[in-house]
Chains A and B, each alone.
Chain A
Amino acid sequence: MARRKIISVTKKRKATGSESPNQKKNTVELAKDINKRNNTQKEGLITSKTSDEEEEEEPQSSDNSERILNLGEDLDVGNDSDYIAGDSLEDSQIEEIDDDEVSDISENERNLGEKKEEQEEKDREPPNTVGNIPMEWYDDYPHIGYDMDGKKIMKPAKGDELDKFLDKMEDPDYWLSVKDDLTQQNVKLTDEELDIIRRIQMQEIPDANYNPYEPMVEWFTSKPEVMPLSAAPEPKRRFVPSKWEAKRIMKIVRAIREGRIIPGNTQVQKPRFYNLWADSDQSRQDHPMHIPAPKMKLPDHDESYNPPAEYLPNEKEKEEWEQMDPEDREKNYLPQKYSSLRAVPAYGRFIHERFNRCLDLYLAPRLRRNKLNIDPESLIPKLPNPKDLQPFPTRLAFSYIGHTGRIRCFSIDPLGLWLVSGSDDQTIRVWEITTGRCVYTWTVDDIVHSIAWCPNKDVCGFIVAFSNKVAFISPFKLCDEEMYLFTNQYVTAGFNQSQKDDKKKNVHWVQPTEQEKESGYLVILNHSHSKTVKQVTWHRKGDYFATLAPDAGNQGILIHQLTKHQTQQPFRKIKGIVQRVMFHPIKPLFFVATQRFIRVYNLIKQEAMKTLQSGVKWISSLDVHPMGDNIIIGSYDKRLCWFDLDLSSRPYKILRYHSMAIRSVSYHKRFPLFASCSDDGSIQIFHGMVYNDLLQNPLIVPVKILKGGHNIVDSLGVLHCEFHPTQPWIISSGADHQINLWT
């Protein structure tokens, strides 16, 4: 039985003490220990067998014996001894000695009658069954545990501080007593217990009877044994050299032979440095992928400790340098001047700079960059000398002054004698080209947008567009009688025919009033739409002319026949906003320039022939070469495109030289010249030679930049330019109310 065993253990413990006084060696700890064990056993018992009386008694008795031992009293010794008697010899000894003690203590009993009674009561009290728990759990309760029957064991009367004090004063052994947690009572320590405490304090072995210096028992003796321990015969391997050892040794031997191990550990130190380039000293061929690191930059004058005074930065430069981000700085130091070498301090960033160089060497990606060491002048293409390409206008001859508004348009008569100009001041003026004299002035009721002299040399007159009207005006003073009559007849003959069929028309050919007739008006065309007519342009024969009103939808482009007073609407539908229209100088072709494209129509076949893609953003002007195979366009995004109609639908050449929008471009009728004028106030003259040979591309050479003739007003410069029909002159009109003649 487990319980019994444990008890026996306790007994044995006692037995280790072996001597008689030791049987009474009941330290508080021991007692507690046993108590606890017993308790646990009891619990086990309670759960298993409660009926067995014998069993129940035994723990009690044992416990009692403990208590007795604890308190040095013996009352139910007989019980105990009865039980122990059969256990062992030693126990019997205890019995006897216990008996002796009893006699001693009985004397004490007599002295302390009261205490004895209490003790008796206590002994009768059932033991506390709470087990091995911290007793402070019961601090707040009136009881301290439960007895075997499950009844509460109440806390003994404690007494107040005064009682304690009195106890302390009265009881001479007070200092020898210790409070027992389980019973909540003071227990006086015995001499043995005190001895143990003393020994512990002295750092001795607590057990007084333990002898640490017992004689040694020799297990393995120095005497050789005569008899073998085992009768087995010796194995063979004891007599054969080891194979594995041999292998290991051979490994070392081989290493020594090969020189991997040098025996004796005398390592002969090779000299650290020797002639590395002794056997071959040839540099490798340069490889394109080998990029040697660039060398460090050598110092400039301003890095000197004593630089010339002009290298020193002024206050402003210093401040700029300091405020700049260190990475943006051109130089990583500020030039400084020291009066003597003695005054030069250490450079604080020296290590940093070296470190950065190291980083550059191994972290910076390298790239072989070919340095262009060419003369920039060689980049400029060699052009034929402009002097060899004369004649062309070179300088400003004079100005025609009189207009008081922007001059948007002008036209020169086919003989080159007269110039007619229309302006924003709502006047039309005719000038004599060679003298600059203003011959005629008409006033109209709106801005004059376009004007064009009739190309027929027999007819003296021009058409002019203002608001939604177009008028044919003949300056009769300028021509002789015969010519005037012819003109009059040429223009007004249509009235007889046109009046017959009176359908709904796009244009009404109206006879001018008498007053207007006197001033030279011959016919007026009233458009049925109310949009402004922006451009008028003649067919080369002077019979047909086209008008353009970009906002008027499909009625925008109309072709009129002057002699018959007829009007045609060539396009039922117009794609895009039309910028310019133009007749081909030779063939029956018609050019329509929209914002980005130029469409070429055949007027006879009435079909679209070709679309030219300019590649510019917004076409401003258009002109056709007198031979008819080349076109130039100017654009508001500063470009001039030359189209060769035989070559491609894309530009042959795109030139971008004006600094502002191009307003007008123009070909010369006889000389190989063309010009462009722009809002930057300049006119560029080019030599543009077109060869009859189809294989030869046109030659374009810039020959002259005409500057300074026109002032820029409201960011508008030269608005229109046109070459003189016979002379190498160019006439330009600008936003500064001037017309200039360049010769």
Chain B
Amino acid sequence: MGKLKKKGQSGAATNYITRNQALKKLQVTLADFRRLCILKGIYPRQPKNKKKANKGSTAPVTFYYTKDIQYLLHEPILNKFREYKIFARKLSKALGKRQIKVAQNLEKNKPVYTLDHIIKERYPSFIDALRDLDDALCMLFLFSTFPATNKIKNETVENCRRLSSEFQHYVMHTRCLRKTFLSIKGIYYQAEIKGQTINWVVPYQFSQQVPDDIDFRVMLTFLEFYQTLVGFVNYKLFTDINLLYPPKFDKEKDEEAAGLDAYLIESTNISANILDQSKKPEKTDNHDNSKNEINDAKEELTQKKEWEKRLKTLAQKITEIKAQDVKSAAAETQTDDSQTAEINDNKNQLIDDFNEQQSNGKSSSIAENQQVTQITPTTKLFTYYDIHSASVAESEFQQLFSKCIFYLSREVPRYSLEFVIRAFGGQVGWDPTVGGGSLFDETNEIITHQVCDRPSQNHQFLSRVYIQPQWVYDCVNARKLLTTEPYRPGKLLPPHLSPFVEHKEEKAEDSSNESEEETEEMVLMKELEAEAKGIPFSKYQQERKQLKSETIATSRKTIKSGQKRTIQEIEAAEEQEIKELGKIMMSKKQKKLYTKIEHGRKKQQRKVANLQQRKRELDAATSKKKKR
């Protein structure tokens, strides 16, 4: 016989620890514990059996996983918290005694903690960090719109703004934005980075009313962690595509409200070149005279500035040149539809070219053994083509606005539109009242689209299309350039749908409904046809029956000739009955589960039916109006 197991020494009883026990074990205050939990990502658990976890009591208690708490015991931050507490005590003592010098000295040696190791611990791989970026981004974007108050420091807000802008720059640079959605709460974005979809929501830019009933200590602790996380993620993202991190921040531009343009995104190669170039003359000078060093340094600085200026202007010039090209292209194809058509043509051409290349390559490379070539094309060509077309579609989607040049009127949300348009390769200019740094002004002829949100425009340029902002977002969601006609200013906009709703479900529902209707309709149609042919109904039924009896031998002829029920209906009824009979033999547990599932399904169906019904009513109402 094995050793007797004692109660409460294994399983749930030892796996879980209540919050108060945890506090006692860690010897921290509740506030410190909460901060620690937020930073370390420790969360309470719901044990499967409360009684087993809590010594037979079912009182409402918060449980933590015991091992989480054990790990916390060795947490360096825990020590830092204690050190900080001691420091605070010493400081207050010194201040109380008016020992200013001592206080200054203490302040200088204040214990500081970093969260680097926690981030590495919580997200051992970069993908893990990306997966958990949603909340972090939402938080940063929210706080970057906050006013600085006594609770929220200005530096925090600045840092949030900086980090979020850097992330936006990355998204624009890599063209990884996928979906956008204008909701009543804010603007949702979805980006795809390294195979991970990242969603975040940005509030509409109004001055935030900071509510009183919110514990900002909690929010700020989260923010502290998220700032570090996004910082490291940004670093990794930037350096992975050979960009300098942190990007240079142009204060003058920021003061002009240039927004995203205040950050100068540089490739590491360019900057390395600059450094090399600037270092060479310095070295020569050093040989000559050591006293001139300061002057040299100044020269170096000025040279650098020149370089940067040149680079900037270069970028601008490039964009201008591009824009001109686009303009010339746009002149050829006036309407959008023709543009899209052209794109399609291009695509086809591309694919064709590629296929040719493929075939050429293959014929040249595997000319020796023909047998292999005979087998391979049939299998390989298809898959290759498939992958290729998919990638082409993807790259085309990323270049969605590459041939459009937008001008934003002052009433449209620049902070969002600039981001979206640039993330899909478009050029944007804006009204100088919204901020500085616009590439071109309103009168420029190269503009193809002007985004405005006013019902009427004072002066309209014929060379450009006037659209409402929703067009941009709808284009992104539709993954193609839509016709601009319904989005003209002053027009009633088509509904803006959420791209996050799975289309499969809806379609499936629709199609199922349709199929049912179809079957009924088909039966009726056949009956009508039979009548038209002059076959009496009873005879027709018999025929049908014969047909059916061939397929299903067991089906009984329970229908009297006078009855109007069709065979299919009877079959359905029979099936229904069999189902009902089966339900009798279900166990209680199964029955419960079944009713639960059915309940959920029916609820969903009711919802869909309700929507459809409402739509039908609305359609009827509008058609009536039209008739009148």
Contact A299 B135 (CB under 8 A): no
Please encode chain B, from 549 to 588, with 1 for each CB lying within 8 Å of some chain A CB and 0 for all others.
Answer: 0000010101000000000000000000111111111100
In the assembled complex, which residues on chain A have CB atoms less than 8 Å from the CB atom of B113? none
Interface: A340 (CB within 8 A): yes
Within 8 A of B (CB), among A200-259: none
Report the Cα distance A436→B495, complex, angstroms: 69
Interface: A604 (CB within 8 A): no
Contact A306 B496 (CB under 8 A): yes
In the assembled complex, which residues on chain A have CB atoms less than 8 Å from the CB atom of B144? none
Q: How far is the CB of A615 from chain B (nearest CB, A)?
A: 13
Interface: B532 (CB within 8 A): no
Residue in A272, A281, A344 whose CB lies within 8 Å of B184: A344
Q: How far is the CB of A32 from chain B (nearest CB, A)?
A: 44
Contact B495 A308 (CB under 8 A): yes
Please encode chain B, from 200 to 237, with 1 for each CB lying within 8 Å of some chain A CB and 0 for all others.
Answer: 00011010111100110011001000000001101110
Interface: B5 (CB within 8 A): no
Residue in B142, B188, B598 whose CB lies within 8 Å of A376: B598
Residue in A300, A333, A346, A357 whose CB lies within 8 Å of B206: A346
In the assembled complex, which residues on chain A have CB atoms less than 8 Å from the CB atom of B578? 383, 385-386
Contact A304 B236 (CB under 8 A): no
Interface: B128 (CB within 8 A): yes
In the assembled complex, which residues on chain B have CB atoms less than 8 Å from the CB atom of A374? 597
Report the Cα distance A127→B436, complex, angstroms: 98
Q: How far is the CB of B449 from chain A (nearest CB, A)?
A: 15
In the assembled complex, which residues on chain A have CB atoms less than 8 Å from the CB atom of B470? 306, 341
Interface: B181 (CB within 8 A): yes
Report the Cα distance A273→B127, complex, angstroms: 18
In the assembled complex, which residues on chain B have CB atoms less than 8 Å from the CB atom of A704? 581
Interface: B94 (CB within 8 A): no
Report the Cα distance A285→B593, complex, angstroms: 33
Q: Given A282-B125, A310-B618: A276 and B116 within 8 A (CB)? A: yes
Q: Given A281-B126, A379-B590: A386 and B581 within 8 A (CB)? A: yes
Interface: A275 (CB within 8 A): yes
Interface: B375 (CB within 8 A): no
In the assembled complex, which residues on chain A have CB atoms less than 8 Å from the CB atom of B222? 358, 361-362
Q: How far is the CB of A332 from chain B (nearest CB, A)?
A: 9
Stretch at the interface among B62-70, B387-395, B514-522: B62-70
Contact B209 A362 (CB under 8 A): no
Interface: B96 (CB within 8 A): no
Q: How far is the CB of A255 from chain B (nearest CB, A)?
A: 13
Report the Cα distance A314→B42, complex, angstroms: 43
Residue in B129, B199, B493 whose CB lies within 8 Å of A306: B493
Please encode chain B, from 490 to 501, with 1 for each CB lying within 8 Å of some chain A CB and 0 for all others.
Answer: 001101111011
Report the Cα distance A684→B585, complex, angstroms: 13
Q: Given A306-B496, A655-B584, A703-B581: A363 and B183 within 8 A (CB)? A: no
Report the Cα distance A704→B65, complex, angstroms: 54
Q: How far is the CB of B540 from chain A (nearest CB, A)?
A: 25
Contact A354 B219 (CB under 8 A): yes
Interface: A165 (CB within 8 A): no
Contact B239 A305 (CB under 8 A): no
Contact B120 A276 (CB under 8 A): yes
In the assembled complex, which residues on chain B have CB atoms less than 8 Å from the CB atom of A277? 120, 125-126, 129, 236
Interface: A342 (CB within 8 A): yes
Q: How many chain A residues touch B (Cβ–Cβ < 8 Å)? A: 82
Contact B500 A355 (CB under 8 A): no
Residue in B124, B182, B580 whose CB lies within 8 Å of A304: B182
Q: Of all chain A residues, which has the CB nearest B500?
A: A298
Which of A289, A298, A304, A702: most chain B Cβ within 10 A? A298
Which of A283, A304, A341, A386: most chain B Cβ within 10 A? A341
Contact B142 A307 (CB under 8 A): no
Within 8 A of A (CB), among B105-131: 116, 119-120, 124-129
Interface size class of B (residues with CB under 8 A): 35 or more
Contact B45 A366 (CB under 8 A): yes
Please encode chain A, from 657 to 683, with 1 for each CB lying within 8 Å of some chain B CB and 0 for all others.
Answer: 100000000000000000000000000
Report the Cα distance A344→B43, complex, angstroms: 37
Q: Given A280-B124, A355-B218: A346 and B204 within 8 A (CB)? A: yes
Interface: A372 (CB within 8 A): yes
Q: How far is the CB of A658 from chain B (nearest CB, A)?
A: 10
Please encode chain A, from 334 to 377, with 1 for each CB lying within 8 Å of some chain B CB and 0 for all others.
Answer: 01101111101111111111110111011111110000101011
Interface: A291 (CB within 8 A): yes
Interface: A380 (CB within 8 A): yes
Interface: B139 (CB within 8 A): yes
Q: Given A305-B496, A346-B203: A283 and B188 within 8 A (CB)? A: no
Contact A380 B204 (CB under 8 A): no
Contact A358 B581 (CB under 8 A): no
Which of B184, B204, B214: most chain A Cβ within 10 A? B184
Interface: A179 (CB within 8 A): no
Contact B183 A366 (CB under 8 A): no
Q: Of all chain A residues, which has the CB nearest B577?
A: A705
Contact A362 B37 (CB under 8 A): yes
In the assembled complex, which residues on chain B have CB atoms less than 8 Å from the CB atom of A280? 124
Report the Cα distance A347→B614, complex, angstroms: 27
Q: Is the interface of A mostly helix, strand, loop or mixed?
A: loop
Contact A300 B43 (CB under 8 A): no
Q: How far is the CB of A311 from chain B (nearest CB, A)?
A: 7
Q: Of all chain B residues, which has the CB nearest A700?
A: B585
Please encode chain B, from 475 to 486, with 1 for each CB lying within 8 Å of some chain A CB and 0 for all others.
Answer: 000000000000
In the assembled complex, which residues on chain A have CB atoms less than 8 Å from the CB atom of B125? 277, 281-283
Contact A341 B45 (CB under 8 A): no
In the assembled complex, which residues on chain A have CB atoms less than 8 Å from the CB atom of B188? 298-299
In the assembled complex, which residues on chain A have CB atoms less than 8 Å from the CB atom of B597? 372, 374, 376, 379
Q: Of all chain B residues, which has the CB nearest A382?
A: B582
Contact B496 A311 (CB under 8 A): no
Interface: A194 (CB within 8 A): no
Q: How far is the CB of A392 from chain B (nearest CB, A)?
A: 12
In the assembled complex, which residues on chain A have CB atoms less than 8 Å from the CB atom of B413? 341
Report the Cα distance A245→B605, complex, angstroms: 86
Interface: A293 (CB within 8 A): yes
Residue in A282, A338, A385, A387 whose CB lies within 8 Å of B124: A282
Contact A276 B119 (CB under 8 A): yes
Q: Given A347-B185, A358-B219: A310 and B615 within 8 A (CB)? A: yes
Please encode chain B, from 613 to 628, with 1 for each CB lying within 8 Å of some chain A CB and 0 for all others.
Answer: 0110010000000000
Q: Of all chain B residues, which has the CB nearest A332?
A: B185
In the assembled complex, which residues on chain B have CB atoms less than 8 Å from the CB atom of A381? 582, 585-586
In the assembled complex, which residues on chain A have CB atoms less than 8 Å from the CB atom of B497? 301, 304, 307-308
Which of A348, A354, A386: most chain B Cβ within 10 A? A354
Q: Of all chain B residues, which has the CB nearest A297?
A: B500
Q: How far is the CB of B75 from chain A (nearest CB, A)?
A: 16
Q: Of all chain A residues, which has the CB nearest B616?
A: A310
Contact A298 B498 (CB under 8 A): yes
In the assembled complex, which residues on chain A have CB atoms less than 8 Å from the CB atom of B181? 299, 303-304
Interface: B88 (CB within 8 A): no
Interface: A284 (CB within 8 A): yes
Report the Cα distance A684→B584, complex, angstroms: 10
Residue in B65, B132, B134, B183 whose CB lies within 8 Å of A305: B183
Which of B142, B183, B214, B222: most chain A Cβ within 10 A? B183
Q: Which 7 A-B pairs have the closest CB atoms?
A: A298-B500, A346-B206, A367-B46, A283-B125, A380-B582, A365-B46, A310-B614
Contacts A281-B124, A365-B43 aside, 15 further interface pairs with beta carbons under 8 A come to A280-B124, A293-B43, A301-B497, A303-B183, A304-B181, A340-B453, A346-B208, A359-B218, A361-B222, A363-B44, A364-B43, A364-B44, A376-B594, A382-B582, A655-B584
> 14 A–B contact pairs at CB < 8 A?
A276-B119, A284-B124, A298-B498, A298-B501, A304-B497, A310-B618, A340-B468, A342-B411, A342-B412, A357-B135, A365-B43, A365-B45, A381-B582, A704-B581
A residues within 8 Å of B by Cβ? 272-277, 280-284, 289, 291-293, 295-296, 298-301, 303-311, 333, 335-336, 338-342, 344-355, 357-359, 361-367, 372, 374, 376-377, 379-383, 385-387, 395, 655, 657, 684, 700-705
